Structures are given as structure tokens and as C-alpha cells.
Amino acid sequence: MNNNFLKTIRAHFYMLFFAACLISQANLQAQEIDMLIKGGHVIDPKNKIDGIMDVAIKDGKIFRVASNIPANTSKKTVNATGLYVSPGFIDMHVHVFAGAEDPGYKGFEISNGFGSVAPDDFTFRSGVTTVVDAGSSGWRNFPEFKKQTIDNSQTRVLAFLSITGYGMVGTVHAQDTTDMNPTTTAFIMNEYPDIIVGIKAHHFQGHNFFPVDRAIEAGRKTNKPIIVDFGSSTPKLSIEELFMKHFRPGDIFTHTFSGNAATNLTPGGREPIVDVNNKIKPFIFEAQKQGRIFDVGHGGGAFVWATAINAMKQGFYPNTISTDLYRNSRNAGMKDMANVMSKFLNMGMSIQDVIVRSTWNPANVIQHTDLGHLSVGAEADVSVFNIREGKFGYMDARGSVLNGTKKLEAELTLRAGKVAWDLNGLSGPQWDAVK
């Protein structure tokens, strides 16, 4: 064998070797996407997307949303055919300051107590990636809440700060007007402007608007909205006065569908948005038109079919859908975000209207427009869900049942591009394909 022949063989070998390296490098470069969610019905209200699209994710961010993105450009492909894909749901009324402290007050034990729940246990399984704690902490104990819950949760946890210094420790403390300090509240809010989204006034039983006005004063100091749980008073406080004389555009009324015609006949409780004939009070439409925000806040006792169904039949829709997740609601009629969203589907709301009220609307209300959409560069919080057809029963806070035919079920939830919930193994390899 002569030297020329050996040189030729060697040259061909090097050429093949380098070609193989180039092909391998090209394949690696082609797989620039970390995960591709392919063939799902994408609903992204901000970007006006409503149709079959692919969603590409890279480095925890939305990389591309388009039709027919090649699967060979991604390291992992999820087949979402027949499913819906949307931004991760935002539940803007929860209580997640869970702890074991006993404050010695009667009430919900929401502030660092057993009344609150751990967020990660209830969010991802219902498609939620962001929650807003609704006043569980006040300026006195927010740093503890941040250290204990916010900093240790995979779920993104934001917060409304209670206007009472210790938050929601009990009904008795909610009556202590001496601990409603807008200056100190605003000071703590300004220390954590990206986490604290507003102020909560709650469970006050006096016949005046003092807590609301204290909260609004803190809101003016910080340019943040307030959220109001009216609690109860005898006689009832006027919600028309609340909306038209106290609220600013962007301020939030939660527990919108609590109360009904029957409670109008009793001296206490909340004033409902419907009259004794279940007709929407005219000022409700005007208040919403003027920018007052109506939030569901289902909870354990704040959602009644008679109010919700009659309101929707008359064309009144809430601005935002939320759960009021806490101990007494999680295993009752509320259950979770997916269940509450399903209720509105079964009351005739379109899936598009349900999604906008669970993503882009709340993002705007809490002034976090970085959330609630699938824009390129946004953090990849994604919900992949299915809408089951069948026979389902839905309970309100009074135990009354609405029979329905649709049920929203979270299949896959991504938080910052990472799988946080996978109901049926959409993102995993088949066991017999693993080498």
C-alpha cells in the first residue's frame, strides 16, 4: 500500500469526521428551542391570538408564537392537539400566609395561621402561575410573610397589604381603627413596589367608610389600587356610595356575587348588586363603565347562583375571576381556580371571555402588565388545559347546585418555562422509549 493511497484515505476520513462534526453542530444549533408546545388552540387576549398555533420556549421565556414551527428545532415537543394553551392564570384573591401562630382572636386565622394555605399545593394543578394574597398581612408582619411564603414558593406570590397593621388576624382586630395607618402602610409598600400591588380594606362592621378611606389614602401615596371586602354592617353600607363617592378608577370590589334578593330583606350583611327582583342596580353598570373593578372572589361564602346567573343574563360580567382561596373554601363549593372558571363557562361565558378575566385583565388591574400574555420575551408562564364534556355539578357558597356540561381541567402548567404540573404526562418520554 503506497503513501499516496494512505494519504487519500486519511484525507477522506478527516473530511467525513469534520462533516459529521458540522452536522452535529448544525443539529444542536437547529434545536435552539427548549420546549415546543405544538398544535394547541392558543388564546392570548393581549396579542389578539385565538387559534391553532405553536408556542416555543427558550431559557424560561416565550421565544416564538407562530404556526407550524418545526419540531426538529426543539429539544422537547409537547403535543397539544385538541387542547387549549393560554398564559398562566392569575388568581388575584387568595390567602397564602400559612403558619401556626395563634393570635388569640376569633376569625379566619388568615394571618400566619391555619386559615391560609400553602400556594404551591393549589395553584399549578389548576393552571395558576401567579396569585395575589388579599390582605393576609399588614405593614407590621409583611416582612415575615415575604420571608416565610413569598421567597419560598415556586408560584409567583404578590400581595395586597391590609390597611390593618397585623393583617387578617381576626374579625375583632378588623374593627381596630387605631391600627389603620396609611402612612406606615405606604412606607412598607414603597419598600416592596414589585410585590405589593395594592391595599385591602376588609371585614369592618361599623357603619362608616373609615377603613376604605384609610386604604385610599395609602393608595394615593403609592399610586396603587385598593380592594374592598365590605364585610357587614347594620344597617348595610351603600355600595352606590362606595363606588361613586369613594372609589377611584381602578379600585376593586371583591365578592361581587355575594348576597341575593333574600338578604336585601335582612338588616345586616352586604348589599348585593341586584335588587329584590334580581335586577342589576343601574349604578352598577355606570360604576363599571367609570373604571371600578368587579372581582369574583368566590370564597366559602361569597358566591350565590341567583346573583351571578341573573347578573350575567342582564349583560353584567365581572372584570376579573378569582377564588378567595383559603381553608374554608378549598374543599367547599369553590375548590380551585379551574372549578370557578368552569362555573362561568357553564353560565354561558365563552372560553375567550373566561381566559381574559383570568389572565390579561387581572394583570392590568394589579399593574403588572409583564404578566398575563405570551409576548416574545415574556416569562414563560403557560397553562395548557382541556375542556371536558359531560355531566358536572357545581355548588355555590350556599350549597345550591348548577348542573353543567363543561369542565376546565389543567393538563400542563409551566412556571418560567419549567414544568410545574403535568396531569397526564404530556411532557415526559414513554417509559419504553427511555434508554
DSSP label at residue 1: -
Mean pLDDT of the region 196-212: 92
| Residue 358 pLDDT greater than 70, yes or no | yes
- State the pLDDT confidence band at 265, using cuts at 50, 70 and 90: very low
- State the pLDDT confidence band at 192, using cuts at 50, 70 and 90: very high
| pLDDT value at residue 25 | 42
C-alpha cell recorded at residue 365: 388591574
| Residue 103 pLDDT greater than 90, yes or no | no
Measured CA to CA, the distance from residue 305 to residue 46 in angstroms comes to 30
Percentage of the chain modeled with pLDDT above 70 = 89
| pLDDT value at residue 204 | 82
Percentage of the chain modeled with pLDDT above 90 = 80
| pLDDT value at residue 284 | 98
> pTM, whole model, 2 decimals?
0.92
| Residue 211 pLDDT greater than 90, yes or no | yes
Per-residue pLDDT tens digits for 280-294? 999 999 999 999 999
> What does 267-307 look like in DSSP terms, one character per residue?
SSSPPPSB-TTSPBPHHHHHHHHTT-EEB---TTTS--HHH
Measured CA to CA, the distance from residue 421 to residue 410 in angstroms comes to 8
Measured CA to CA, the distance from residue 168 to residue 403 in angstroms comes to 35
Per-residue pLDDT tens digits for 374-419? 999 999 999 999 999 999 999 999 999 999 999 999 999 999 999 9
Cis peptide before 235 (omega within 30 of 0): yes
∠ CA 220-226-229 to the nearest 5 degrees? 150
Mean pLDDT of the region 124-136: 98
| Residue 333 pLDDT greater than 90, yes or no | yes
Of the candidates 145, 89, 83, the residue with the CA atom closest to the CA atom of residue 112: 145
- State the pLDDT confidence band at 19, using cuts at 50, 70 and 90: very low
| Residue 221 pLDDT greater than 70, yes or no | yes
Q: What's the one-letter identity of residue 80?
A: A
C-alpha cell recorded at residue 219: 393608595
Q: How far is CA 359 from CA 132, 184, 236, 308, 374, in A?
A: 13, 31, 33, 21, 10
| pLDDT value at residue 8 | 54
- State the pLDDT confidence band at 337, using cuts at 50, 70 and 90: very high
CB-based contact 251:265 (threshold 8 Å): no
| pLDDT value at residue 207 | 85
- State the pLDDT confidence band at 261, using cuts at 50, 70 and 90: low
Mean pLDDT of the region 351-362: 98
Mean pLDDT of the region 271-276: 93
Q: What is the mean pLDDT of the chain?
A: 91
| pLDDT value at residue 264 | 46
| Residue 182 pLDDT greater than 90, yes or no | yes
